[in-house]
Amino acid sequence: MRVRVASAGTGKTTSLVRRYLELIAAGVPLRRIAGVTFTRSAAGELRQRVGGGIRQLLATGEFHGVEIHGAEFRAGRSDEAARELFEEALRELSGATLTTIHGFMTGALRLAAPAMGLDPDFTVVPEWEAQALFEEELRSLAYLAADPAHPLHTAATAKGNDAPRRLLTLFSKRSLGERFAADADPPAEALVELFDAAYAAFERRLGARMLSPGEIERRSLRLIRIPTAMARLASRFRVILVDEFQDVNPLQGRFFEALEGSGLEVEVVGDPKQSIYGFRNADVGVFRRALEDGEELPPLDRSFRHGELVNRFLNRLTATLAAEGLGFGRREAPAVTAAGKRAEIRGRVEVHWVVDEQPLAALRETEADVLAARLEAIHLEHGVPYGEMAVLARSHGALALAESALTRAGVPAVLLQGRGYFERLEIRDLYNALRAAIEPKGVQFAAWLRGPFGRLSPSELQDVLAASDPEAALARCCPAAAERYRWLRDLVLRPPLEALKGLIREPFDEGRSFVHYLDARQRENVDALLFTVARQPPFDMEVLLGRLELLVRQTDAGDVPQSGNGVKLLTVHAAKGLEWRVTAVFDAGRRQAPNRDSLRVDPDSGLVSLPGSPAFDETGGRLREREESESYRLLYVAASRAREMLLLTGSARGGECHGWARALELMGVGPAAEPRDRPDFVLATHTVAAPKAAGAEPDRPVRRQTEAPEWIDRSFALHPFPPIHSPSRIELAPMPLEPEPLPPGDGEPLPPSDGSEATELPGRATSVGTLVHYAISQSWQPDDAADLENLRAQEVMFPFSPSEQDEVLAEVAELLANYWAMLGRDLPGLAAREQDESELPMALPHRSTVWQGVIDRLYRVNGRWYLDDYKTDRTVAPERYLGQLAVYAEAVRRARGVMPLARLVYLRSRKVVDVGPVELENAFARALAEVF
């Protein structure tokens, strides 16, 4: 594995684009290169940048050292041939593999779906939904294990009172390893035993058609143990470029290490100094192992982000921390030189400490006021707009403190991410209303009665809750509230999304709706809830309520980001990847929060331990070391967001240094350091201001109206298709009700299938279709017993009994025999094909949708291209498939510059239906029309 360290601002994305161009120049087609990064937005940016690099190279002949006339093409390749390589890459760009880690793993699993026992068109379910399904399995298991005769009854009774929460914690940590283990502590052993049982039931529930992100990782580890699957992956890709490798988790790391071991070239780039996602199971040790065992490439050591003084401060910070082993080592912290236009900017660094003997809360309030004053002064003295400033902190509480100080100073502030969005009162009111409509009792019903919908007085509430029939009591004491409750009961009978919309927008109180009682900020939050639910509308009200319950636990879910041009307020984690002219790091004296977990998992061994066991304390020590190391890396990430000016503020009661203050003290700029005041560097100490005299007029906050962005009133039109869609979903004509008879003379009728190819697994028709397509792609023979037994071993056959498997295999063999009989007669023989590709992935961007699928066969004979789409239907109904066939043909035309002869190959009836270019063009226009 080739490994490169890239510090913040050193042009990592540009280096990746350059590497793409080097590989293309060396003759590696773009379709054989996989680009993998951490987020969808980063993958989209990388695609744009690669396209821009190719276009620049074609237009100017050069891109950051890669030249069409350079050394890359001296191996007997003409300039024209060199241009053709990049022109081909540009045509392939829209379908190239540039995706996230989970996206790449998903693609690998789809390539080997039959061998993995998966439906090739499996659905990826979000993590919250996977957790909801796992919780259901936990509840089922608890119910069954209550029976003394149940095998898990002993474990269920020994698990402890906090077991449900601990089991969910284990579920959230499943990316640390394939299996958990327990020490000799009986409660821990019982917990792991229950988890294994619930997780096994959870996997069975997902089956072959659904995978969540965690299960994609685990399935990918199974894939690397199947030689045929790895060979198939190696036949598709030659080089894999992985970005942000410092943020991968242990399972992801093992997957890429296995790819490297199988012969694929894997190149990774990242920065251990920016590994800050331990709470998401990221493990910087994976990067360090690659750095130790692989080929270390020269680091990127020229910063195009930072001014001279900010760059010098960061070098001193990293050198100090590396020397002390705090967060990272010397090998991971190369010195960086300011380069480009930033090198011409001197910049400014300020460090401000509030040191006093008063309570820490008073120190932090003064610190916030100091920060607000400095940002206002920079705005006035240096002309930096507030919109180009940011305040970063480790905690949401610190951001709230900074926001209050900025408001008092009259400085406009924009909170980009607050805390506990789904715990906001307006969101809880909606949840309580939906839950109360289902059952008029409990805390939620009481909350509805007292909330904006019911509005009962405390005495009325007591009377209703104490009654044996709460609804009747409500009708007696408050008829208006009873009428609103009847409205609510009718409302929840609608589909969940429609019920939620009605609850928010329909009038229920003298023409007033719920939003009438909300301020502007609360309305933004409620609208965001609607958008969140509408992205994946739940099919059942209980599913919606369960989703809301899960979202409440997302501590990183913040308020809807505010709009405007004020100072940006956000956590360090949310600031990763961003930068500002002026960046302030607030609350640098904050202590590291103690670890209060009631369950610990050793990140190296997967050992689960509970309080009271020796392993719990030992694991806690290792986890504390990891958290402290990550804390120092957070400081580097925060400080490296500044382009021209960096401010750091902290509070130190009695001069004590905690958290980041310790690192700054080691640098010589801590609370006890000698104050300095230069034009480009300030080190100052402040004390808490004396309290105002009794009766003095308090300061009144001055609020400035933030500027509304220009896009605030824009709306987005609905599109007929999702952003990513499969051509197989297009159906221009329904399936005929009566099957057509087979043409005479084509042999005996085959055993009937149970419907169309679109039937979901584990139906027989889909199994037959999946196996036939896979067998054709492998050139397997119908009379080869070994080939048929390989098909029997596919997991899609597991739901069938042995006799049913024999029937399925007999049908597959008949269809395969038809296919081989058609070769050389109805279809060109394999030997006659100059180029032949099977199961070719395609992606066709068209308007608002990317059409993504797999072409069964694309080949060239005598210079002409053919596109074959195999069908196993009983009925020959070509009009049904014209839309998807047109999409496949158009994708080939755009990628290769030729329009193939498109054909539907009906294997059951041995019939080939040619579809002409005019018919394809009409079908394409009909299938992808924006208006139906």
Place of tokens 């987005």: 716
pLDDT at 70: 55
Comparing CA positions, the residue from 698, 701, 664 lying closest to residue 407 is: 701
Within 10 A of 837 (CB to CB), how many other CB atoms are there? 12
pLDDT of 71 higher than 60: no
- How far apart, in whole angstroms, are the C-alpha atoms of residue 318 and residue 332? 9
Exposure string for 621-654, b = 16+ CB within 10 A, e = fewer? eebeeeeebbbbbbbbbbbbbbbbbbbbbbbbbe
Q: Check residue 319 and give its pLDDT.
A: 96
pLDDT beyond 80 at 564: no
End-to-end CA distance of the chain, in Å?
51
Q: What is the pLDDT of residue 38?
A: 86
Residue 418 has a pLDDT of 46
Q: Which residue has the tokens 């002993």?
A: 154
What integer pLDDT is reported at residue 695 of this predicted model? 41
Please give the Cα distance from 659 to 424 (Å, whole number): 30
Which range (133-137, 403-407, 441-445, 547-551) has the least confidence?
Answer: 547-551
What is the SS3 assignment for 68? coil
Which residue from 37, 76, 396, 438 is spatially nearest to 240, judged by alpha carbons? Answer: 37
pLDDT at 109: 95
Mean pLDDT check: name the lowest of 152-166, 174-188, 306-320, 799-813.
152-166
573-629 pLDDT tens trace: 989 889 999 999 999 998 877 777 889 999 888 999 998 888 998 999 999 999 999
pLDDT for 236 equals 92
What is the tens place of the pLDDT at every residue in 318-377? 999 999 999 999 999 999 999 988 889 999 999 999 999 999 899 999 999 999 999 999
Please give the pLDDT value at position 733: 65
Which is more confidently placed, 393 or 184?
A: 393
The answer, yes or no, to whether residue 558 has pLDDT greater than 70, is no
- C-alpha separations of 655 from 357, 586, 652, 686 in Å: 9, 17, 5, 12
Tell me the average pLDDT of the chain. 85
CB 451: neighbour CB atoms within 10 A?
21
Mean pLDDT for 404-424 is 75
Residue 674 identity: E
User: Is 50 exceeded by the pLDDT of residue 211?
Assistant: yes
Sign, CA torsion 827/833/837/842? negative
Residue 734 has pLDDT above 70, yes or no: no
Which one is predicted more confidently, 228 or 927? 228
- Quick one: what percent of the chain has pLDDT higher than 90? 51
Instruction: Tell me: pLDDT of 563 over 60.
Output: no
Q: For residue 875, is pLDDT > 80?
A: yes
For CA atoms 886, 889, 894, 900, the dihedral sign is negative
pLDDT at 601: 93
SS3 for 256-312 is: HHHHHHCCCEEEEEECHHHCCCHHHCCCHHHHHHHHHHCEECCCECEECCCCHHHHH
| pLDDT value at residue 753 | 37
Taking residues 838-858, report their average pLDDT: 90
Min mean pLDDT across 1-10, 441-450, 550-559 is at: 550-559
pLDDT beyond 80 at 529: no
Which residue is listed with tokens 């294990």? 145
pLDDT band, residue 759 (cuts 50/70/90): very low
Q: Are strands 580-585 and 389-393 parallel, antiparallel or unpaired?
A: parallel
- Mention every residue, 6+ apart, whose C-beta is less than 8 A from residue 341: 304
pLDDT > 70: percent of the chain: 89
More confident residue, 585 or 547: 585
pLDDT classification of 186: cutoffs 50, 70, 90: confident
- Contact status, residue 258 vs residue 144, Cβ threshold 8 Å: no
Give residue 926's pLDDT.
84
Residue whose C-alpha is closest to residue 775's, from 801, 811, 813, 805: 813
State the greatest distance between any 2 C-alpha atoms of the chain, in Å, as a whole number: 107
Contact indicator for 145, 153 with CB cutoff of 8 Å = yes
pLDDT at 701 (0 to 100) = 45
Read off the DSSP letter of residue 692. P
Structure tokens at 393: 């902190």
pLDDT classification of 930: cutoffs 50, 70, 90: very low
Q: What pLDDT score was predicted for residue 441?
A: 79
The mean pLDDT value for 382-404 works out to: 92
Cis-peptide, bond into residue 709, ω within 30° of zero = no
- ∠ CA(124), CA(128), CA(133), 5° rounding? 80
Cα gap 368→402, rounded to integer Å = 5
In this prediction, residues 438-458 reach a mean pLDDT of 85
What one-character-per-residue DSSP string does 12-55 give? HHHHHHHHHHHHHHTT--GGGEEEEESSHHHHHHHHHHHHHHHH
Question: What pLDDT does 863 receive?
Answer: 92
Query: Rounded distance, CA 302 to CA 288, Å?
Result: 22
Give the number of residues written for the chain.
Answer: 932
Strands 864-871 and 835-846: unpaired
Q: How confident is the model at residue 551 (pLDDT cuts 50, 70, 90)?
A: low
Q: Is 450 helix (H, G, I), strand (E, B) or coil?
A: helix
Helix, coil or strand: residue 414: strand
Question: Rounded distance, CA 854 to CA 888, Å?
Answer: 8
Residues 658-699: tens digit of each pLDDT: 889 999 999 999 999 999 999 899 999 999 975 444 344 444
